[in-house]
Amino acid sequence: MRPDLIQNRIDKAERLREMGVNPYPYRFERTHQVSEVLANFDEEEAKEDSSSVAVAGRIVSLRLMGKAAFAHVQDASGKIQLYIKRDDVGTESYKAFKLLDLGDLLGVRGTRIRTRTGEASIAVTELEVLSKAIRPLPVVKEKEGEVFDAWKDTGARYRRRYLDLILNPDSREAFRKRSAVVRALRDYLDERDFVEVETPVLQAIYGGAMARPFETYHNALDMPFFMRIALELPLKRLLVGGFDRVYELGRVFRNEGVDRSHNPEFTMLEFYWAYADYHDAMDLVEDLCRTVVKTVTGGMTVEWDGKTIDFEPAFPRVRMVDLIAEKTGLDVLKDPEEKLRSKLGEAPDFATRGHLIEELFDQYVQGDLVQPTFVMDHPLAISPLAKVNRHEPELLVERFEIFIGGIEFGNAFSELNDPVDQRRRFEEQAAQRERGNDEAQVLDEDYLEAMEYGMPPAAGVGLGVDRLAMLVAGTHALRDVLLFPHMRPEEGRGAEDEVADTDTDTGH
RNA sequence: GCCCCGUUAGCUCAACUGGCAGAGCAACUGACUCUUAAUCAGUAGGUUCGGGGUUCGAUUCCCUGACGGGGCACCA
């Protein structure tokens, strides 16, 4: 950044102070949001007693013409044009106004008028500087909805999200939709008597999903801790404790790659529903998806990655093995494992038939599941927390994942509540770990003990909240619905890293 | 972690086969009391992402590093 551009503005702030104007005052009494001024504009303008309005916002356009000026200010609700005339605001105020720049925060009082060209505006009678920006905003021009020189520096938009939010209406809209999604999810579960809880992020033993964890250290206890990779196990302890409808909406952490649909920390919704099975859960998830889409978008379809996704028709419920058979001709439950292996490029040594089935699904089926689809009855080997399938108890479990647009949005089971079987499953996971599967689950003795006291039959569901937000916001990049997606530090801004290093060194 | 592409003024972008680094907007000075990508006149602004190499000469070619984007792998 050129220092003179900043110094100019610091000098202007100083000149304001010399005029007796505080460039950083304490408060401003607003009477309206911009959108409220624009609503029923003509009726309000026509009223004899139409009192003045007071709005505040950021100056996003500025046209100075000697003794009068036009500007647009933008607040959270929208933007509106101001007409500022020296004879209306007074010579002193007008002088102060001329020291303002694009990006400064301004409060005004005035009355509604339509300008000669018909734009709903405020004729300003009083103005108040609310904050002098000393760093220039990227300059974006706009005419009749068409944007010129749009600020689209990828990366900078994520690093300086506040600029993205100021400059790109689409971005503001995406985060509003995300907020609406979260609210809709809470409302839906609250209405059905689910109790929201909060469980620890730092855990001595991580579990509930297949993933690599972040590891950290507790100095006082002198022991390692893991950031949770799922919400599952604490919530199921609550089933034991008698919360028979319970949910948590919270952040989980997985030490894996970053791409369009993955971020190392993300938001999950998990809920557990005693005395229900995974068929009940499918009914509920289907209804939940429709409700969220309808609430947030007003319709039942979403345009996503060039495809129209329709939530109206019943979501197909198909067995994973049948989908694979359809695409590959393999009978994955009966064909020899060698035949399954040969259909895959390569598979790890520890892979059992169950892992091969999962891999075949990933390679041949998943990407084509564009419309909302429940994929049911996963292999037992990759589902250590799910009940065995009542029809195929040797190889499959009662589990489903919901796919939309070719990516997974949720995962659910008829929850395993037989403590003896659960112990066996954990032992099988430990054996897999021995054979090199470093995502196999870790035996959680404390969880087993809870289950031994009796856990009700239950359905459990996990949903990727960020992905839902992404879907209804119509973007196919997760970082468009993450306010501050993870990125490498910019060059020359890594000083904090060294401090962090010395801190953690004390523990190890 | 691997492969491909990108990085030039505050912003958006140019610059041919390697030959003085440019424009618009923003900034600065001045004019302008209904403009809206405001207009008009003038002024200033560059570590061409960092480091190294080839060359008389590098924004341009080569090597290397940083960051970003896309793809692959891993995963949800």
Complex ipTM, two decimals? 0.90
**Positions of chain B reached by protein Cβ under 7 A:** 1, 9-13, 24-28, 31-39, 45-46, 66-76
Per-residue pLDDT band for A496 (boundaries 50, 70, 90) equals very low
pLDDT at A501: 33
pLDDT at A491: 56
**Model confidence over A299-356: pLDDT tens digits?**
999 988 788 999 999 999 999 999 999 998 999 999 999 888 888 877 777 788 998 9
Domain ranges of chain A: 3-137, 185-316+371-463+497-503
Q: Which residue has the higher pLDDT, A240 or A362?
A: A240
A116 token code pair: 């000669």
Span of A131-135, A249-253, A428-432, A486-490 with lowest mean pLDDT: A486-490
Per-residue pLDDT band for A440 (boundaries 50, 70, 90) equals confident
Q: What would the mean pLDDT of A482-491 be, rounded to a whole number?
A: 82
Q: Which residue has the higher pLDDT, A386 or A500?
A: A386
Q: Is the pLDDT of residue A268 over 80?
A: yes
Q: Which residues contact A116 (CB under 8 A, 6 or more apart)?
A: none
Q: What would the mean pLDDT of A54-63 be, rounded to a whole number?
A: 96
pLDDT at A261: 85
Which nucleotide has its C1' atom closest to residue A2's CA? Answer: B10
Q: Is the pLDDT of residue A495 over 60?
A: no
Mean pLDDT rounded to a whole number for chain A? 91
Q: What would the mean pLDDT of A390-409 be, rounded to a whole number?
A: 94
Contacts of A153-162 spanning 24+ positions with Cβ under 8 A: A155/A487, A158/A479, A158/A484, A158/A485, A158/A487, A159/A487, A159/A490, A161/A483, A161/A484
SS (H, E, C) A319-380: EHHHHHHHHHCCCCCCCCHHHHHHHCCCCCCCCCHHHHHHHHHHHHCHHHCCCCEEEECCEH
CA distance A444 to A202: 15
pLDDT at A92: 94
User: What DSSP designation does A480 have?
Assistant: G
Span of A15-19, A202-206, A500-504 with lowest mean pLDDT: A500-504
Do the domains spanning A3-137 and A185-316+371-463+497-503 agree at the CATH topology level?
no
Q: Look up the CATH number of domain A185-316+371-463+497-503.
A: 3.30.930.10
Which nucleotide has its C1' atom closest to residue A116's CA? Answer: B34
pLDDT at A350: 77
Q: Is the pLDDT of residue A500 over 50?
A: no
DSSP state string for A46-79: H-TT---EEEEEEEEEEEEETTEEEEEEEETTEE
pLDDT at A497: 34
pLDDT at A50: 65
Measure CA to C1' and name the residue nearest B9.
A2
Measure CA to C1' and name the residue nearest B13.
A149
**Model confidence over A220-247: pLDDT tens digits?**
999 999 999 999 999 999 999 999 999 9
Span of A73-87, A171-185, A471-485 with lowest mean pLDDT: A471-485
pLDDT at A260: 85
Q: Which of A266, A296, A284 is nearest to A472 (CA)?
A: A296
Residue owning tokens 């054979």: A435
Q: Is the pLDDT of residue A48 over 70?
A: no
CA at A57, C1' at B31: how many angstroms apart?
29
Per-residue pLDDT band for A252 (boundaries 50, 70, 90) equals very high
CATH class of the domain defined by A3-137:
mainly beta
Q: Is the pLDDT of residue A22 over 90?
A: yes
Q: Is the pLDDT of residue A502 over 70?
A: no
**Model confidence over A150-165: pLDDT tens digits?**
888 878 888 899 999 9
Q: Is the pLDDT of residue A505 over 70?
A: no
- A66, with CB counted inside 10 A (0-12, 13-18, 19+), is exposed
Measure CA to C1' and name the residue nearest B46.
A2
Which nucleotide has its C1' atom closest to residue A148's CA? Answer: B37
CA at A355, C1' at B6: how many angstroms apart?
39
Q: Is the pLDDT of residue A9 over 90?
A: yes
CA at A159, C1' at B63: how many angstroms apart?
30
Per-residue pLDDT band for A507 (boundaries 50, 70, 90) equals very low
> What percent of chain A shows pLDDT beyond 70?
96
User: What DSSP designation does A274 have?
Assistant: E
A163 token code pair: 């600029």
